[in-house]
Every structure is written in C-alpha cells, then in structure tokens.
Amino acid sequence: MTAQSSGALVLFAKDPVEGQVKTRLGSLLDSKITLNLYQHFLSDSIEKIGAVSGVDRFIGVASPPTSDLFERAVRDHDIHLFVQDGKDLGERMRRTFEERFEEGYSRVVIIGADSPTLPVAYIEQAFRSDREVMIGPSTDGGYYLIGMREKVTDIFEGVSWGTDRVLAETLSALKAKRAEAGVLPVWYDVDLPEDLRFLKTHLQWMTHAGLPEGQATLEFLNQLPLE
C-alpha cells in the first residue's frame, strides 16, 4: 500500500465476540448486552475516524475478524483493514507504526475503541502538532491516543501493559530517547461499571450541548438499567 496522504489514523479494536470484549463490565451487564454495547462503541469510533479529514484511515483488529461490521466500515468509510501482529500491545503498536511509516506516511496516530466521547478535535490536534510524539493521557494511567511524526518506535519495550504505569513508563522511555513529546488533554476510557455510568451522564450532557460524539452508544445506554 502506498500512502495517499501524509497522515494515517489507526483505530485499534477487537473483533466483537461474546465473552471476549469489555469483560470487566461483567458485574453490571451480561455477556450479550456487553457485546452489543461494544458494537456500539465500535460504530461510534468508526464514525469518529471517518470525521477526521485529510488522513487515510485504518482499523487494526486484534484477531482475524469474523464480524461484518468491519467489512461495512471498509465499504462505507474508505477504511483499510488489517490484523494486528505482536505478542503484546506494545509490539502490536510498534509494528503498526513501522508499517505505516514504510508505506510513506509522515504522521501516524493510533486510538482505541474504548472512548466513544473522545472529541475529534483532539485527534486533529495530534496530526497538526510538530512534536515527534503526541500522547493523550487517560484517567486510568494509560493513554487513549499516541501519535508519532518521527520513527521513535522502540519506546514500547518493557512497558507494564494493563497497569496504571503505562503512561509514566512510556513518558520515561521518550525522555530517555530525548524525543520531543506533546500531551493532549486528559480523557477517559470505559472499562468498569462506574466508567459506564459516568459515560451515560456525560453523553447526555454532550447531547444537550449539541456535540455529536457517541450518539449510537447513548441510544443504547438509554435502554439499560445502570443503577
């Protein structure tokens, strides 16, 4: 594949399979409802990357996809689909960055599918920045976005993935490499029941304010008893 623009926006996602997505919501929702919720997260995330102009769009799926949701995204939003490769999240991100740079992109940004309220403006800011690396810190000690302009792709080795030390360890690696890093506003992922309750309230207020993010998710959450 040859780059059609200078920027590549990559959504990291999981194949929506019952019992394998958002498992930490199990104390609040059964597996079928959780699966349906994640599908709405994906729909909103796909709409989000489709709203970012001037970039090529990708979805990196953690395993070979079985859902037609991704096929529809490829067809409806001109999105390129690939399967992530690597033994852990850090290796999968490193290889994704390296492959996009090899294709000729000068700026690559990766986001996750766990932040349906994430403003498109933050993604656009990551592309506009002249910093070597841009990070969007999340409230759980990780990050919802990481973007690179230069090929500083070896910063993920030794990071304690799945812990609240991910952001701090990544920033330490960047400092050791003397890479110029920029930081976006703090945002949040939705992993736990309390996150989901907050998400519903947040989406309701965003709707009142006329903000477009997360509408598919809100319509679904309005049907659920989350108290």
State the DSSP H helix or E strand holding residue 10, giving kind and residue range, or none if neither: strand 7-13
Other CB atoms within a 10 A radius of the CB of residue 66 amount to 11
What's the pLDDT at 2? Answer: 65
CA–CA distances in Å: residue 42 to residues 7, 58, 77, 184: 22, 13, 13, 22
DSSP per residue over 38-57, as a string?
Answer: HHHHHHHHHHHHHT--SSEE
Nearest CA among 150, 187, 159 for reference residue 87? 159
- As a whole number of angstroms, the distance between CA 154 and CA 177 comes to 9
Name the CATH superfamily housing domain 7-153+162-220. Spore Coat Polysaccharide Biosynthesis Protein SpsA; Chain A (3.90.550.10)
Q: Given pLDDT bands bounded at 50, 70 and 90, which one contains residue 8?
A: very high
Separation between Cα atoms, residue 30 and residue 133, nearest integer Å: 39
Q: How confident is the model at residue 196 (pLDDT cuts 50, 70, 90)?
A: very high
Reported in sequence order, the residue ranges of 22-132 that DSSP labels E, i.e. its strands, are 56-61, 79-83, 107-112
Please name the residues in contact with 121: beta carbons below 8 A apart, sequence gap of 6 or more: none
Q: pTM (2 decimals)?
A: 0.94
- pLDDT for the residue numbered 145: 98
pLDDT in tens, 160-169: 999 999 999 9
Q: CA 167 to CA 160: how far, in whole Å?
A: 9
3-state helix, strand, coil in the chain (%, to 5): 40, 20, 45
- Ordered by start, the domain boundaries in the chain are 7-153+162-220
Pairing status of strand 143-148 against strand 79-83? unpaired
3 and 103 Cβ atoms separated by less than 8 Å? yes
Contact 109, 127 (CB under 8 A): yes
Q: How confident is the model at residue 36 (pLDDT cuts 50, 70, 90)?
A: very high
Provide the pLDDT confidence category of residue 77 given band limits of 50, 70 and 90: confident
